[in-house]
């Protein structure tokens, strides 16, 4: 063999061995890297208001496709169906009566260990976009880094629903900025850029993308999408009374328009994950903080906080690496908000803090079974604002039943399989006495486990030293705009 041939052979052999080593390094790096997490949190999106969930009106093609790729928790509920309580429970894995975060516009204390802090401690980069509603220092006040609960990258604001001129703060810049277009589109574009910038990072990333739609105002939805829903074409559920139909049709037109536009924005994020080749090493969740009544049971649009499914039930789709044959499967066992944090930690093999109260459902997510059942707890601790005349309640939901109790006693029992629109209250019916007793026993056991005394609204307001504005019957957030705001928090002096 001449020298030239030998040199060529050795060179080829070296390149082959080097390539194998590089491939081994890549495989090792991939094996050692925890999955990224993209949590998409929408606002006021009912669990039934999606094409894949059977809504005859709404067009959500991207989420319908994503449902085919995910595990679908059909009975996911908001632990307390209103913004701040849900978000606090999501971040801490604790119930509102434990943290004291049971009404809007409170400040989540820095002492609480949160989702972003846990993932950051496990080596994750953390990023937040959109509506926060956990700072309690007014709705347009700058939120400094030490009050961002572990999020490093920040494009957020406490609370705004001005979708076509949505304000936000850019990381550590204290100047109030505005997204340049309809906020779901603008926010997801920035999130897509973040994914691109971090696609090749050795650190995994945790993203919480908090999109404020389809929460009202509904008339601000882009015209293009509103035209997709002529009011007289909308099919209304049977639990909406005739007297409310005109208003419900008007609001639903904008509600569905926001939903379809937001579906498009979410679709862009899902496509970005695929284009960046990140989807197979990323946990993706789509959910909402609560639903809304939209005229059901005679309750006017916009109202939530109640234990009917329209307010209580939320979408929850989760896709994870190696989902394989489980893609498109359904779990009918309920999931409540505090279960989400420990379940994500379970899926990523990160230790769950001992004081987390939710249940780790990672095994159920990886082995979905539609026949499994469990009981999930929800609560209305101190109804406020539009709900101030409603009693406090605790509720238990199984895959078949919803049982609701106020401090005065049992108030509602529904068989959701036979009566999906919850129009027949079975409480105190003789033939359901055994079912009611079992659900009541389960409710009492769960309240005992978290040390919830189940008092009325005044009991909890006094316990946590909260004061409602006399006229609006809620925590005063608007006085911060006049420099007169007072922070209310479970930890005094925050």
* Exposed / middle / buried, residue 181 (Cβ in 10 Å: 0-12, 13-18, 19+): middle
* pLDDT category of residue 485 using cuts at 50, 70 and 90: very high
- CA angle 355/360/362 to nearest 5° reads 150
Bin 391: left if φ > 0, else alpha if -120 < ψ < 50, else beta: beta
Contacts of 408 (CB under 8 A, 6+ apart): 391
Prediction pTM value: 0.93
Q: What is the pLDDT of residues 324-349, one digit of tens each?
A: 999 999 999 999 999 999 999 999 99
Q: What one-character DSSP code corresponds to residue 392?
A: P
Annotated active-site residue in 83, 137, 218, 258: 83
Q: 312 to each of 58, 132, 135, 266, 350, how far by Cα in Å?
A: 19, 20, 24, 23, 29
> Looking at beta carbons, which pairs linking 274-278 to residues 24 or more positions away fall under 8 Å?
276/195, 276/196, 276/199, 277/199, 278/36, 278/195, 278/199
Q: What is the pLDDT of residue 494?
A: 66
Encode 207-238: b = buried (16+ Cβ within 10 Å), e = exposed. bbbbbbbbbbebebbbeebbebbeeeebebbe
Tokens of 129: 């976009």
Q: Is the pLDDT of residue 451 over 50?
A: yes
Residues 386 and 403 sit within 8 Å (Cβ to Cβ): no
Q: What is the pLDDT of residue 11?
A: 43
Average pLDDT for residues 459-464, to the nearest whole number? Answer: 97
Q: What is the pLDDT of residue 10?
A: 40
Q: 223 to each of 164, 218, 251, 260, 463, how far by Cα in Å?
A: 12, 11, 14, 12, 47
Annotated active-site residue in 86, 133, 218, 258: 133
Q: What is the pLDDT of residues 101-143, one digit of tens each?
A: 999 999 999 999 999 999 999 999 999 999 999 999 999 999 9
Report how far apart the first and last C-alpha atoms of the chain are (Å, whole number). 81
Distance CA 18, CA 11 (A): 10
At 412, is the secondary structure helix, strand, or coil? strand
Average pLDDT for residues 472-487, to the nearest whole number? Answer: 96
Report how far Cα 454 is from the mean position of its chain's Cα atoms.
Answer: 25
At 142, is the secondary structure helix, strand, or coil? coil
CATH number of 36-373: 3.40.720.10
Contacts of 65 (CB under 8 A, 6+ apart): none
Q: What is the pLDDT of residues 253-268, one digit of tens each?
A: 999 999 999 999 999 9
* pLDDT category of residue 449 using cuts at 50, 70 and 90: very high
* pLDDT category of residue 491 using cuts at 50, 70 and 90: confident
Distance CA 26, CA 197 (A): 19
Residues 268 and 188 sit within 8 Å (Cβ to Cβ): yes
Q: Is the pLDDT of residue 20 over 70?
A: no
**Cross-strand partners of 425:** none
* pLDDT category of residue 377 using cuts at 50, 70 and 90: very high
Contacts of 245 (CB under 8 A, 6+ apart): 236, 295
Average pLDDT for residues 410-427, to the nearest whole number? Answer: 98
Distance CA 475, CA 104 (A): 7
Q: In the chain, count H helices and then E strands.
A: 13, 16
Place of tokens 């809620």: 474
Q: What is the pLDDT of residues 265-291, one digit of tens each?
A: 999 999 999 999 999 999 999 999 999
Of 143, 138, 129, 208, give the one whose Cα is nearest residue 172: 143
What are the domain boundaries of the chain?
36-373
Distance CA 476, CA 484 (A): 10
**Cross-strand partners of 161:** none
Neighbouring C-beta atoms of residue 486, cutoff 10 Å: 11
- Average pLDDT score, the chain: 94
Catalytic (active site) residue 133: yes
Place of tokens 């409540």: 336
Q: 61 to each of 185, 289, 302, 375, how far by Cα in Å?
A: 16, 21, 25, 31
């Amino acid at each position: 063999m001449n020298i030239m041939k030998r040199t060529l052979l050795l060179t080829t052999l070296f390149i082959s061995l080097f390539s194998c080593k590089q491939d081994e390094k890549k495989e090792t790096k991939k094996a050692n890297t925890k999955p990224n997490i993209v949590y998409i949190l929408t606002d006021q999106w009912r669990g039934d208001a999606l094409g894949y969930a059977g809504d005859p009106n709404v067009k959500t093609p991207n989420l319908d496709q994503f449902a085919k790729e995910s595990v679908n928790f059909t009975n996911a509920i908001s632990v307390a169906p209103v913004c701040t309580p849900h978000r606090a429970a999501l971040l801490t894995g604790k119930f509102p009566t434990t943290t004291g975060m049971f009404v809007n516009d409170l400040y989540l204390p820095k002492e609480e260990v949160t989702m972003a802090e846990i993932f950051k401690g496990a080596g994750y980069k953390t990023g937040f976009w959109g509506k926060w509603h956990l700072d309690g220092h007014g709705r347009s006040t700058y939120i400094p880094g030490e009050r961002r609960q572990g999020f490093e990258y920040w494009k957020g604001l406490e609370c705004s629903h001005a979708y076509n001129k949505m304000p936000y703060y850019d990381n550590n810049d204290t100047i109030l900025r505005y997204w340049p277009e309809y906020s779901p589109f603008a926010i997801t574009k920035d999130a897509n850029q973040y994914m691109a910038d971090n696609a090749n990072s050795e650190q995994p990333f945790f993203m919480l993308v908090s999109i404020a739609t389809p929460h009202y105002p509904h008339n601000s939805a882009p015209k293009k999408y509103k035209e997709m829903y002529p009011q007289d074409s909308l099919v209304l559920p049977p639990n909406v009374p005739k007297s409310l139909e005109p208003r419900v049709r008007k609001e639903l037109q904008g509600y569905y328009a926001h939903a379809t536009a937001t579906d498009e924005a979410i679709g862009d994020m899902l496509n970005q994950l695929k284009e960046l080749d990140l989807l197979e090493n990323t946990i993706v969740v789509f959910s909402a903080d609560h639903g809304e009544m939209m005229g059901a049971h005679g309750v006017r649009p916009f109202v939530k906080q109640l234990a009917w499914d329209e307010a209580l039930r939320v979408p929850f789709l989760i896709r994870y690496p190696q989902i394989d044959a489980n893609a498109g499967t359904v779990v009918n066992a309920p999931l409540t908000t505090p279960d989400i944090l420990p379940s994500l930690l379970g899926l990523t093999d990160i230790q769950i803090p001992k004081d987390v109260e939710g249940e780790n459902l990672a095994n159920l997510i990886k082995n979905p079974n539609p026949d499994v059942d469990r009981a999930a707890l929800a609560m209305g601790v101190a109804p406020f604002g539009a709900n101030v005349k409603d009693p406090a309640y605790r509720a238990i939901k199984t895959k078949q039943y919803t049982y609701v109790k106020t401090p005065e006693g049992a108030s509602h029992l529904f068989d959701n399989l036979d009566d999906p629109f919850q129009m027949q209250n079975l409480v105190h019916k003789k033939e359901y006495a055994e079912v009611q007793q079992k659900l009541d026993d389960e409710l009492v056991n769960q309240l005992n486990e978290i040390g919830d005394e189940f008092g009325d609204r005044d009991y909890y307001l006094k316990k946590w030293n909260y004061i409602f504005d006399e006229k609006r019957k809620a925590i005063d957030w608007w006085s911060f705009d006049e420099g007169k705001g007072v922070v209310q928090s479970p930890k005094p002096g925050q």
